[in-house]
């Protein structure tokens, strides 16, 4: 694209010079700045790269076909040696391309493409690592399960991502570990020995928070942060079976509370300044957005009455609950709650000045949300078991969250916040309306009013932002 | 008028850090940081992860050879042996006597297991799918020297026994749809060897036609204290094939 622009610019500049629009000295300046004389060399380089690319694809196909053709003939040892040496070669070659910006006269561009090539080769090596592990498993230990493969592969890729601070490897590693978690979570229901993979699946919430979040900081990527945070929150919910727990009568009442309150507590109080050598809040805005997202989802889910009544999981027998108790990650809860407390203390202690009360007000607001989210399931399970009360509280919380978002959106002229709040409230109204049995006339009236409200509010907001920008 | 006032107010309420945050975008910050840290990454930061990855790759075979050295030699009675030659993927699928839940039903410990993990239906699906348990096998007292004798299951345990006598081993199995898998069901074998095995088995079955005795096909394996297993060989009557 860039070269295309330069070629066109050269054509145009030559035309201007010939027409006398610009002086030839000016043309020379332009030529210097955009390096017109190197265009041919660059084009040649690109052509070479394409040829090399086609050649290497053919080479790779040759290798693959060779291996496939002889796979049955070779002995086990030969297969192992071959695959491992392939892995080693590609890793080392990739590293050599990736590591050192070799100073040569081609300048910065070839360095960049070298680095890209190295990164691609390292990624290929990560794939071949997986093939190696899979083949080893098949040859030597056919009883190993798929989730163990994914977890081992993911851990291997993650170590390399840590070492080289490589973003693609980090994302790949996080995805692989999550794939391992989701294929392995079913295993938790069964008894069995405590292998390393089981342990990892059981403590995935702790692992995600303590490994993925620093990894995100290490490779400076918001993608890794978001993936890690989502992995943490979802694995916590699924390991604790928080939604199911609500309908067990004898469940330890604080378990569900922890599952619901811990993620927002950790997200909201997250502060990059807790890491060393950082003077910039890299991920805090993202973490706070994730808090609001988590709140919206959990409030919406808990505002349905059927989680609170014993209807849903009545069929689940008692043994399921026993297995939850046996495998629940108590250590995770302890460590993560301690971390949350530290973060909150930091948040309130490092308030820069008394006058920045607006920020604190938000934090107090969120803190009370977290407190109520933890308290209501506890009260419900410990004493009253009146589902009406819990459902009412969570509906109020959902409405408060929606209107709070709208208010913030209006105040800071943020379109995203405003629309998110509006959608949340509309969703709530429509859901409650559809949940109850009303006449069709009433339903159509509610739909009509909602639609009218959304259009009116949206138009008003857009008008307002336009005015604010204009003034 | 009012809105501009509130805007000014909201600006005042922002702390210096977040003001810095609003002025500098994420991408610009990353760029400045990259400029600062142009230091090349030292070689060990590549070497250590590579060594760890190598360790992960070789963990499985090393474990296997370990089991091969210290494990106890055990012999399992097969119930059926099928070979497939699909897409040049030569594999031998083996089914054992102890793979069938019906053969384990009378052993001590089975009823307790069923009580602990009941299935959907008492008769057709007694155990919950996916249940893991341990089958304790014992060496037979009389053994013929030329043809090996299979070890017999003596009891079922829900947890792996801490220690078993010298003449016993514990195998971990997983129940599913009336069958128990031990991870010892599929073997990949080279083409010529597989043909040989097939010929032997076919001959054996011709000779045995009509007789009700058990087929003399056995799998020999090594089992260690932790329950890890390594297949060693396949016996077809007195002939031995390495797996």
What are the residue ranges spanned by the domains of chain B? 16-70, 73-242
Asked if residue B207 has pLDDT above 80, the reply is no
Per CB-CB distance under 8 Å, the chain B contacts of A164 are 41, 45-46, 49
Contact between B45 and A220 using a beta-carbon 8 Å cutoff: no
For A311-332, how does the pLDDT look when each residue is reduced to its tens digit (9 = 90+)? Answer: 444 444 444 555 555 555 677 8
Per CB-CB distance under 8 Å, the chain A contacts of B63 are 140-141
Per CB-CB distance under 8 Å, the chain A contacts of B61 are 80, 136, 139-140
Mean pLDDT lowest among A31-35, A123-127, B80-84: B80-84
For A421-448, how does the pLDDT look when each residue is reduced to its tens digit (9 = 90+)? Answer: 999 999 988 888 888 777 888 888 888 8
- The pLDDT of residue A185 is 83
* Other C-beta atoms lying within 10 Å of the C-beta of residue A281: 20
Name the phi and psi angles at A150, rounded to 5.
-60, -40
What distance in Å separates the CA atoms of residue A172 and residue A178, rounded to the nearest whole number? 10
CA distance B56 to chain A (A): 7
- What's the mean pLDDT in A229-242? 86
- The pLDDT of residue A360 is 60
* Other C-beta atoms lying within 10 Å of the C-beta of residue A131: 14
pLDDT-derived band at B88, boundaries 50, 70, 90: low
Give the nearest chain A residue to B192 (CA atoms).
A73
Contact between A80 and B61 using a beta-carbon 8 Å cutoff: yes
CA distance B6 to chain A (A): 8
B185 vs A316, which has greater pLDDT?
A: B185
pTM value is 0.78
Total length of chain B = 243
- The pLDDT of residue B10 is 42
Per CB-CB distance under 8 Å, the chain A contacts of B68 are none
Nearest Cα neighbor of A266 from A240, A234, A233, A299 is A233
B44's CB contacts (< 8 A; 6+ apart) are: none
Per CB-CB distance under 8 Å, the chain B contacts of A468 are 3-4, 7
What are the helix (H) ranges across A284-386?
284-302, 318-327, 330-349, 357-379
- The pLDDT of residue A89 is 92
Contact between B4 and A471 using a beta-carbon 8 Å cutoff: yes
What distance in Å separates the CA atoms of residue B102 and residue A9, rounded to the nearest whole number? 82
Q: B48: burial class by Cβ within 10 Å (0-12, 13-18, 19+)?
A: middle
Nearest Cα neighbor of A164 from A228, A108, A219 is A219
A383 and A308 Cβ atoms separated by less than 8 Å: no
Contact between B61 and A285 using a beta-carbon 8 Å cutoff: no
Sequence-ordered strand ranges (E) for B87-151: 89-96, 118-121, 125-127, 132-138
A256 vs A385, which has greater pLDDT?
A: A256
A2's CB contacts (< 8 A; 6+ apart) are: none
Give the N- to C-terminal CA distance of chain B in Å, as an integer.
Answer: 86
Contact between B3 and A467 using a beta-carbon 8 Å cutoff: yes
Nearest Cα neighbor of A208 from A183, A187, A239, A243 is A239
- The pLDDT of residue B241 is 81
What distance in Å separates the CA atoms of residue A206 and residue A236, rounded to the nearest whole number? 9
- The pLDDT of residue B4 is 41
B81's CB contacts (< 8 A; 6+ apart) are: B92, B93, B94, B95, B201, B217
Per CB-CB distance under 8 Å, the chain A contacts of B158 are 191
Contact between A353 and B15 using a beta-carbon 8 Å cutoff: yes
Contact between B17 and A142 using a beta-carbon 8 Å cutoff: no
Contact between A160 and B3 using a beta-carbon 8 Å cutoff: no
A331 vs A291, which has greater pLDDT?
A: A291
pLDDT-derived band at A75, boundaries 50, 70, 90: confident
Beta bridge partners of B152: B138
Virtual CA dihedral for B24, B28, B33, B34, nearest 10 degrees? 180
Size of interface A-B (CB pairs under 8 A): 148
Mean pLDDT lowest among A2-11, A87-96, B139-148, B184-193: B139-148
> To 10 degrees, what angle do helices A24-34 and A2-19 make?
170
Tokens describing residue A341: 């407390």
Give the nearest chain A residue to B25 (CA atoms).
A282
SS3 A274: helix
What distance in Å separates the CA atoms of residue A325 and residue A254, rounded to the nearest whole number? 12
Sign of CA dihedral B125, B126, B131, B137: negative
- What's the mean pLDDT in A203-209? 90
Pairing of strands B217-223, B72-86: antiparallel
- The pLDDT of residue B224 is 83
- What's the mean pLDDT in B205-225? 75
Average pLDDT, chain A: 81
- The pLDDT of residue B1 is 36
Name the phi and psi angles at A268, rounded to 5.
-65, -40
- The pLDDT of residue B33 is 67
ipTM surpasses cut 0.85: no
- The pLDDT of residue A312 is 45
Please enumerate, as own/partner, the contacts of A69-78 that have beta carbons within 8 Å and a separation of 24 or more: A71/B88, A72/B88, A72/B90, A72/B190, A72/B191, A73/B190, A75/B190, A76/A139
- What's the mean pLDDT in A181-192? 75
B242 and B232 Cβ atoms separated by less than 8 Å: yes
Nearest Cα neighbor of A396 from A373, A363, A379 is A373
- What's the mean pLDDT in A40-64? 83
Give the nearest chain A residue to B119 (CA atoms).
A317
Contact between B60 and A140 using a beta-carbon 8 Å cutoff: yes
Beta bridge partners of B170: B136
- The pLDDT of residue A411 is 83
- The pLDDT of residue B36 is 55
Mean pLDDT lowest among A20-24, A99-103, A374-378: A99-103
Per CB-CB distance under 8 Å, the chain A contacts of B119 are none
Per CB-CB distance under 8 Å, the chain A contacts of B7 are 413, 468
Q: B231: burial class by Cβ within 10 Å (0-12, 13-18, 19+)?
A: buried
B118 vs A57, which has greater pLDDT?
A: A57
Mean pLDDT lowest among A3-12, A86-95, B80-89: B80-89
What distance in Å separates the CA atoms of residue A422 and residue A457, rounded to the nearest whole number? 8
Sequence-ordered strand ranges (E) for B87-162: 89-96, 118-121, 125-127, 132-138, 152-157
B94's CB contacts (< 8 A; 6+ apart) are: B78, B80, B81, B184, B185, B186, B187, B219
What distance in Å separates the CA atoms of residue A244 and residue A255, rounded to the nearest whole number? 11
For A353-394, how does the pLDDT look when each residue is reduced to its tens digit (9 = 90+)? Answer: 554 444 566 788 888 899 998 888 888 777 666 778 888 888
B51 vs B37, which has greater pLDDT?
A: B51
Asked if residue B209 has pLDDT above 70, the reply is no
Give the nearest chain B residue to A160 (CA atoms).
B49
What distance in Å separates the CA atoms of residue A192 and residue A417, rounded to the nearest whole number? 47
Sign of CA dihedral A32, A38, A42, A43: positive
SS3 A385: coil
- What's the mean pLDDT in A138-148? 76
Asked if residue A153 has pLDDT above 90, the reply is yes
A284 vs B125, which has greater pLDDT?
A: A284
Q: B215: burial class by Cβ within 10 Å (0-12, 13-18, 19+)?
A: middle
What distance in Å separates the CA atoms of residue A273 and residue A394, rounded to the nearest whole number? 33
Contact between A91 and B50 using a beta-carbon 8 Å cutoff: yes
Contact between A359 and B15 using a beta-carbon 8 Å cutoff: yes
Per CB-CB distance under 8 Å, the chain A contacts of B173 are none
Asked if residue B52 has pLDDT above 90, the reply is yes
- The pLDDT of residue B111 is 86
Contact between A191 and B15 using a beta-carbon 8 Å cutoff: no
- Looking from the CA of A293 toward its CB, the CA atoms found within 13 Å total 13
- What's the mean pLDDT in A93-108? 68
For A413-422, how does the pLDDT look when each residue is reduced to its tens digit (9 = 90+)? Answer: 888 888 899 9
Nearest Cα neighbor of A275 from A337, A216, A330, A325 is A216
- What's the mean pLDDT in B54-73? 86
pLDDT-derived band at A217, boundaries 50, 70, 90: confident
- The pLDDT of residue B86 is 57
- The pLDDT of residue A112 is 66
Largest Cα span, chain B: 104
Asked if residue A281 has pLDDT above 90, the reply is no
């Amino acid at each position: 694209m860039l070269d295309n622009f330069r070629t066109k610019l050269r054509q145009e500049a030559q035309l201007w010079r010939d027409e006398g629009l610009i002086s030839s000295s000016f043309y020379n300046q332009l030529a210097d700045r955009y390096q017109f004389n190197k265009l041919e060399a660059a084009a040649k380089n690109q052509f070479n790269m394409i040829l090399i690319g086609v050649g290497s694809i053919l080479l790779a196909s040759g290798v693959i076909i060779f291996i496939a053709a002889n796979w049955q003939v070779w002995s086990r040892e030969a297969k192992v040696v071959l695959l491992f040496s392939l892995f080693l070669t590609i890793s080392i070659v990739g590293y050599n391309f990736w590591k050192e910006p070799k100073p040569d006269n081609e300048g910065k561009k070839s360095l960049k493409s070298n680095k890209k090539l190295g990164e691609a080769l390292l990624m290929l090596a990560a794939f071949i690592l997986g093939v190696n592990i899979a083949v080893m498993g098949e040859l030597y230990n056919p009883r190993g399960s798929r989730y163990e493969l994914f977890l081992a592969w993911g851990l291997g890729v993650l170590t390399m991502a840590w070492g080289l601070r490589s973003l693609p490897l980090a994302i790949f590693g996080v995805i692989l570990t999550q794939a391992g978690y989701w294929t392995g979570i079913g295993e938790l229901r069964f008894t069995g020995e405590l292998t390393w993979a089981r342990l990892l699946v059981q403590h995935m919430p702790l692992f995600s928070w303590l490994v993925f979040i620093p990894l995100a900081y290490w490779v400076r990527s918001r993608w890794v942060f978001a993936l890690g945070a989502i992995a943490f929150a979802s694995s916590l919910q699924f390991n604790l079976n928080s939604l199911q727990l609500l309908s067990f009568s004898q469940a330890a009442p604080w378990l569900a509370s922890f599952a619901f309150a811990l993620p927002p507590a950790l997200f909201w109080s997250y502060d990059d300044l807790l890491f060393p050598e950082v003077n910039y809040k890299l991920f805090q805005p993202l973490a706070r957005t994730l808090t609001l997202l988590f709140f919206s989802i959990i409030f919406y889910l808990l505002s349905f009455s059927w989680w609170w009544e014993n209807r849903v999981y009545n069929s689940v027998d008692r043994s399921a609950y026993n297995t939850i108790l046996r495998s629940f990650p108590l250590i995770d809860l302890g460590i993560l709650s301690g971390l949350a407390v530290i973060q909150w203390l930091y948040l309130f202690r490092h308030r820069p000045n008394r006058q920045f009360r607006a920020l604190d007000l938000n934090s107090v607001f969120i803190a009370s949300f977290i407190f109520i989210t933890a308290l209501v399931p506890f009260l419900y399970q410990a004493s009253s078991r009146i589902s009406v009360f819990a459902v009412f509280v969570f509906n109020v919380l959902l409405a408060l969250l929606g209107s709070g978002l709208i208010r913030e959106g209006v105040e800071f002229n943020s379109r995203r916040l405003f629309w998110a709040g509006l959608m949340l409230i509309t969703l709530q109204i429509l859901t409650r309306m559809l949940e109850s049995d009303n006449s069709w006339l009433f339903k159509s009236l509610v739909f009509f009013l909602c639609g009218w409200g959304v259009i009116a509010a949206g138009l008003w907001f857009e008008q307002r932002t336009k005015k604010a920008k204009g003034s | 008028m009012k809105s501009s006032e509130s805007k000014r107010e909201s600006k005042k309420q922002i702390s210096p850090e977040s003001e810095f945050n609003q002025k500098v975008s994420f991408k610009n910050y990353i760029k400045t940081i990259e400029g600062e840290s142009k230091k090349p990454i030292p070689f060990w930061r590549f070497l250590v992860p590579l060594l760890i990855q190598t360790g992960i790759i070789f963990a499985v075979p090393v474990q296997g050879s370990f089991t091969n050295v210290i494990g106890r030699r055990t012999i399992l009675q097969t119930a059926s042996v099928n070979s497939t030659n699909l897409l040049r993927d030569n594999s031998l699928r083996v089914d054992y006597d102890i793979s069938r839940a019906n053969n384990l039903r009378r052993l001590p410990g089975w009823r307790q297991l069923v009580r602990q993990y009941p299935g959907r239906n008492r008769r057709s699906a007694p155990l919950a799918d996916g249940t893991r348990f341990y089958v304790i096998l014992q060496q037979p007292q009389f053994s013929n020297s030329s043809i090996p004798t299979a070890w017999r299951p003596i009891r079922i345990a829900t947890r792996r026994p801490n220690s078993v006598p010298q003449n016993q081993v514990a195998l971990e199995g997983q129940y599913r749809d009336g069958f128990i898998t031990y991870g010892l069901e599929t073997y990949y074998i080279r083409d010529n060897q597989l043909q040989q095995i097939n010929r032997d088995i076919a001959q054996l079955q011709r000779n045995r036609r009509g007789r009700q005795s058990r087929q003399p096909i056995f799998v020999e394996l090594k089992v260690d204290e932790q329950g890890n297993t390594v297949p060693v060989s396949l016996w077809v009557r007195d002939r031995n094939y390495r797996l």
